[in-house]
Amino acid sequence: MAWTEELGFDSIWLTEHHFIDYGLSVSPAVLATAAAMRTRRVRIGLAAAILPFHDPIRLAEELAMVDILSEGRLDVGVGRGNRPVEFEGYRVPQIENRERFEECLAILLKAWTQDRFSFEGRSLHDPRGRVIPSRSSSRIPGLRRVHEPRHDRGHRAARRAHAQLAAPRRRRSARQEPRHLREGVRRRGGSAAETASLLSRWGVSRHVYVAPTDAQALAEARDAEMWYQESLRRFLIPERIDRVHPLLQPGFRAMQERFATVSWEQLVAESVAFGSPDTVAERVDEFRRLGVGEMLCWMNFGGLPQDQVRRSMELFAREVMPRFR
């Protein structure tokens, strides 16, 4: 993360996941604090804190402290989660994740903008809340949402003036996002300027791997990418779909069908940004033309050797980034 700043990247993004074999990030607040102590310029983002797993008051306190320690460099992404094993491990019914997410988010916003507050919900109840330290209310528009279903994520994010973080698998999904967001802003009577502001903070995540040639990049990244895809499939889909809540089963079965058709050729064509600096720059330019405000480059994935990760990051920083400054 410190080296990312040295290379000239603008931000670091940290996820939250539990009980998995493809990454270690059980506490993004802890990692964000470690990054804050080792960097001075780069922004530090959470993509994302999974709200149904957290006590909102404690989370509000911890993130306020991280924001202070980082001297205001923290961007908070929030999500409701979609991994069955995590909900089982935290003993939270997955069918309740939307309700718990909305209630936790409402408390976070109150905690960061009001000296004292109260909240009454179905899952959470707080008659006399107060958080010290609090975050400045001017920072709240930096909140971003992730992990919403495709049909309503833009609408929900726009409804509260929250920018969207996403990792669309296909280009078509990415192209639809600005339309969803504009419709969401229009529904609540927002302006074109608000839409532009939200799009400027629309973040899209992509696996990125740069090598001197396309052939070398594809050959070196293939095994790591396919390992990641299989690990993701096992993590997203329960072993016994028939044992989960009936309302969740159709979504899991549809996801199972999508994963069954994933191929290396499809990933290269639609999802990842692997290749020479010129090829990767073409992919970045596609996002720029769509209106994406920030590209989250996931460059260390699937067990890639660290020397290859560092070479890829250096090539990206030296030969791709300058084209978009």
Residue 132: the pLDDT is: 83
- What is the pLDDT, as a whole number, of residue 79? 92
Q: Does residue 293 contact residue 163 with C-beta atoms inside 8 Å?
A: yes
Q: Please list, residue by residue across 18-48, b when 16 or more beta carbons sit within 10 angstroms of its beta carbon and e when fewer do.
A: bebeeeeeeebbebbbebbeebeebbbbbbb
* One-letter identity of residue 294: E
Per residue of the chain (325 residues), give pLDDT as tens.
999 999 999 999 999 999 987 778 999 999 999 999 999 999 999 998 999 999 998 999 999 999 999 999 999 999 999 899 999 999 999 999 999 999 999 888 888 888 888 877 776 666 667 788 876 544 443 567 664 544 455 445 545 557 788 877 777 777 777 788 788 888 888 888 888 888 888 889 999 999 999 999 999 999 999 999 999 999 999 989 999 999 999 999 999 999 999 999 999 999 999 999 999 999 999 999 988 889 999 999 999 999 999 999 999 999 999 999 8
1-147 topology per CATH: TIM Barrel (3.20.20)
Give Rg (Cα) of the chain.
20
pLDDT for the residue 173: 73
The pair of three-digit structure tokens given for residue 34, joined into one six-digit string: 């470690």
Alpha carbons 221 and 211: distance in angstroms, whole number = 10
Q: What pLDDT is recorded for position 151?
A: 45
pTM assigned to the model: 0.88
Whole-Å CA distances, 142 to 103, 109, 206: 19, 12, 21
Q: Where in the chain is the domain with CATH 3.20.20.30?
A: 1-147
Element (H, E) at 113: helix 97-113
Beta strands in 39-98 (DSSP E): 43-50, 74-79
